[in-house]
Structure 1
Amino acid sequence: MNKSIIVLIATIAFFSCSTAQKTLEKSTTGTSDIKKSMIKALEWQEAHPIFAIAPTDWTEGAYYTGVTRAHKATKDMMYMAALKNQAYWNNWQTFDRLHHADDVAISYSYLYIDINDGRRNFVDLEPTKKFLDAHLFENDEWKAGADKSDMGKTILWWWCDALFMAPPVLNLYAKHTNQPKYLEEMHKFYMETYNQLYDKEERLFARDMRFVWTGSDKDQKEPNGKKIFWSRGNGWVIAGLALLLEDMPKDYENRPFYENLFKEMSTRILELQPSDGLWRTSLLCPETYDHGEVSGSGFYTFAIAWGINNGLVDKKHIPAVKKAWNALAKCQHEDGRVGWVQNIGAFPEPATADSWQNFGTGAFLMAGSEVIQLLD
């Protein structure tokens, strides 16, 4: 694309986002306002279904994880109705790539329904069990490291997004069925991803091996010369960590690792929060697309608020959470649609007031759910 056109787009995006995120003068952090915003987001999203591949794919999994958190925080039956409807029409199925973490994310909502509905024989967890058993215990060329591409597909969860998709499901399934072997397997594969993608210096995750620095001249860099760390990619990780820690046994021997990782990432994410409250799609080169982005910011707001609510993040950061939620709320259209969501991708790209995705709505609901509890 012509460089002048890129500059023009970036300028328009910056102006539009700045305007949209400064439109509302009043605070939007009252619990009643938050609940209204969340219901509007749910109603709009349910009326405008969208998915990348199928109704059981990862985008729906992320969205309905947000719906579970909204129901947990508010007990509003509109959320439970949405959860049950999608599960029923999905026939409780996962998607069909049994060695791809994305395709079991939808099962988080099925497990939540089973735990909270109270009716026997309503939920069918057999498809989830089938997926998890194949995912963890069956041999596969992918798991054996047959793919030698530059993305690093030599481990099961080779991209950081996977740490949101499968680990919380495995952890909750282990808890719900009282089968700790699933938690142990989860930890094994989680450590593979951590060891391959976590940058201990920056306290952030590379999206995949293409963005891990090796000291070579071929290392990918931002225009300012820094490493490439994608906002939503790290949002997936830290939001997944909060979900993990909530359901992980307090006496689990590896729990301290997850708590320490959560604290490290929370501290770093707070250091990188821009003054207007919303994180940019590129964490270390925010000027590339200098406007807020909702999906990554929603996951960060959820995770940091959850950390405060659960004693892992200092309460002095409550103003940062409020600032983030106010900024998120100003990205919601009057009809309930949540804009400023970067489209499906794997690295920093721009968003606009009119770009939306179901997983962005999920992140918005997750953020609201924890901010409500923080204020209460």
Structure 2
Amino acid sequence: MLKALKWQEANPIQAKSPTDWTNGAYYTGVVKANEVTGSKEYLDALKAMAKRNNWQPWERFYNADDLAICYSYIYLKYIGEQANLEPTAKIINDHLYKDYSWKNGSKTDEKKILWWWCDALFMAPPVIAAYAKLERDDSYLKEMDKYYMETYDLLYDKKEHLFARDGRFLWTGESTDKKEDNGNKIFWSRGNGWVLAGLALLLTDLPKDYPIRPFYENLFKEMSERIKGLQQDGGLWKTSLLSPESFDHGEVSGSGLFTYALAWGVNNGLLSKTDYQPCVTKAWTALLKCQEPNGKVGWVQNIGFDPKPADSESWQNFGTGAFLMAGSEILNLN
């Protein structure tokens, strides 16, 4: 894990912004690694990043992606580091309460709700829950619930127990529906990884007595059972969950997110250790095989929205983040 951190810090990706979602997801992995190890290297990386960024999120208050980097800022404040959370407070409040056209929906494209793509359930809800915990203010959670339920109602397939990436991948019964070559619905591994890992992050900070916590726990367990059954013999998950034959390799970002979430479920008593620990240890063994001796983590599908191939040379900072998240919970396994 330290090798992965050091390689990634020495090889920053050319993102749209140092505060964009790719860095938000990467540094969420650094947070989790620091939580479990207490290693100075992780904390130093987080503090240096926050200072470089001047504690800023990215610029689009209406887009869940631009909140993701704030997870790291809130963590630093929570552990007692000097932190300026004014920009974080502003974007969270604007995101939840300020009017914007996305909240009213669109009839011309897939942006029919605020969190219209399933990845958003990783980018925003964990940040909101962490901030609500820090501020001891559940009103943020109640507003979050509203938007989460919109996404759940629109994109969750209750038969498959998986999330469509966005409205373009919903089945309407028409011949024009998007489908895999084998005729199955398209369910993207990383998209569902974002949702399941986001649920683990959310539940970590959600009060135990929160009224609708059972909904989030039940969704986590339902999806976990489905994801466990889709693990491939080699230990990883393919980029297309219901068409594993589409590509002849596993993929690290989705697999890392699944490994983190399932291991978290075992460590927190939501998933059976007997049933799930073999799955996550097998997955971690496979993830390690995707890391080069210098620390670089490969086999990461590039930025996208549907299943595509990867190779040993394809890497992304959010893939490293997923790797660190997975390792953090593997270290917690008893």
Query: Counterparts of 1:370 and 1:61 in 2: how far apart (Å)?
Result: 19
Aligned match for 2:103, one of 130, 143, 159: 143
Aligned match for 1:132, one of 92, 102, 106: 92
Moved more, 224-233 or 132-141: 132-141
Contact preservation (8 Å) 1:51, 1:59: no
What does residue 330 of structure 1 align with?
289
For residue 59 of structure 2, give the secondary structure of its aligned residue in structure 1. coil
> Which amino acid counterpart does residue 129 of structure 1 have in structure 2?
A
- Asked if 1:213 is matched to 2:154, the reply is no
Shift of 1:149: 3.5
- Asked if 1:280 is matched to 2:238, the reply is yes
Shift of 1:198: 0.1
> Which amino acid counterpart does residue 135 of structure 2 have in structure 1?
T
1:83-102 matched pairs, under 5 angstroms: 83-102=46-65
> Which amino acid counterpart does residue 143 of structure 1 have in structure 2?
K
> Which amino acid counterpart does residue 97 of structure 2 have in structure 1?
F
Aligned match for 1:305, one of 263, 278, 294: 263
Shift of 1:329: 0.2
Alpha carbons of 1:349 and 1:315: their partners in 2 closer, same or farther (altered >3 Å)? same
For residue 143 of structure 1, give the secondary structure of its aligned residue in structure 2. helix
CA displacement, residues 154-173 of structure 1 (integer Å, 9 cap, x when unaligned)? 11000000000000000110
Query: Normalising by the residue count of structure 1, what TM-score does the alignment of the two structures yield?
Result: 0.88
- Asked if 1:201 is matched to 2:201, the reply is no
Query: Counterparts of 1:171 and 1:247 in 2: how far apart (Å)?
Result: 6
Aligned match for 2:17, one of 54, 62, 73: 54
For residue 193 of structure 1, give the secondary structure of its aligned residue in structure 2. helix
User: Mind listing any 5+ residue stretches in structure 2 that lack a counterpart?
Assistant: none
CA displacement, residues 179-238 of structure 1 (integer Å, 9 cap, x when unaligned)? 111111111100000000000000000000010111111110000000000000000000
User: Mind listing any 5+ residue stretches in structure 1 that lack a counterpart?
Assistant: 1-37
What does residue 3 of structure 1 align with?
none
Shift of 1:362: 0.1
Shift of 1:52: 2.8
CA displacement, residues 10-33 of structure 1 (integer Å, 9 cap, x when unaligned)? xxxxxxxxxxxxxxxxxxxxxxxx
CA displacement, residues 64-111 of structure 1 (integer Å, 9 cap, x when unaligned)? 000000001111011000000000110000000110000010000000
How many residue pairs match? The answer is 333
Contact preservation (8 Å) 1:281, 1:296: yes
For residue 215 of structure 2, give the secondary structure of its aligned residue in structure 1. helix
1:69-88 matched pairs, under 5 angstroms: 69-88=32-51
What does residue 26 of structure 2 align with?
63
Query: Counterparts of 1:231 and 1:137 in 2: how far apart (Å)?
Result: 31
For residue 215 of structure 1, give the secondary structure of its aligned residue in structure 2. coil
For residue 43 of structure 2, give the secondary structure of its aligned residue in structure 1. helix
The percent of aligned pairs where both chains have the same amino acid is: 64
Shift of 1:133: 1.1
Aligned match for 1:110, one of 61, 70, 73: 73
What does residue 18 of structure 1 align with?
none
For residue 322 of structure 1, give the secondary structure of its aligned residue in structure 2. helix
Shift of 1:263: 0.1
What does residue 222 of structure 1 align with?
180
What does residue 131 of structure 2 align with?
173
- Asked if 1:349 is matched to 2:311, the reply is no
Query: Counterparts of 2:100 and 2:23 in 1: how far apart (Å)?
Result: 26
Query: Counterparts of 1:282 and 1:206 in 2: how far apart (Å)?
Result: 12
> Which amino acid counterpart does residue 282 of structure 2 have in structure 1?
K
Contact preservation (8 Å) 1:342, 1:351: yes
Contact preservation (8 Å) 1:231, 1:280: yes
Shift of 1:246: 0.7
Shift of 1:148: 2.6
> Which amino acid counterpart does residue 295 of structure 1 have in structure 2?
S
CA displacement, residues 331-367 of structure 1 (integer Å, 9 cap, x when unaligned)? 0011100000000000000000000000000000000
Aligned match for 2:193, one of 228, 231, 235: 235
Q: Name the Cα RMSD after superposition.
A: 0.8
Query: Normalising by the residue count of structure 2, what TM-score does the alignment of the two structures yield?
Result: 0.99
Query: Counterparts of 2:14 and 2:24 in 1: how far apart (Å)?
Result: 10
Contact preservation (8 Å) 1:278, 1:328: yes
For residue 333 of structure 2, give the secondary structure of its aligned residue in structure 1. helix
> Which amino acid counterpart does residue 342 of structure 1 have in structure 2?
Q
Query: Counterparts of 1:209 and 1:295 in 2: how far apart (Å)?
Result: 22
Aligned match for 2:7, one of 28, 40, 44: 44
Shift of 1:51: 4.3
Q: Quick check: which has more Rg, 1 or 2?
A: 1
> Which amino acid counterpart does residue 66 of structure 1 have in structure 2?
G
- Asked if 1:266 is matched to 2:224, the reply is yes
Work out which structure has the larger RCO, using CA pairs closer than 8 Å and 6 or more positions apart in sequence. Answer: 1
Query: Counterparts of 1:307 and 1:179 in 2: how far apart (Å)?
Result: 26
> Which amino acid counterpart does residue 12 of structure 2 have in structure 1?
P
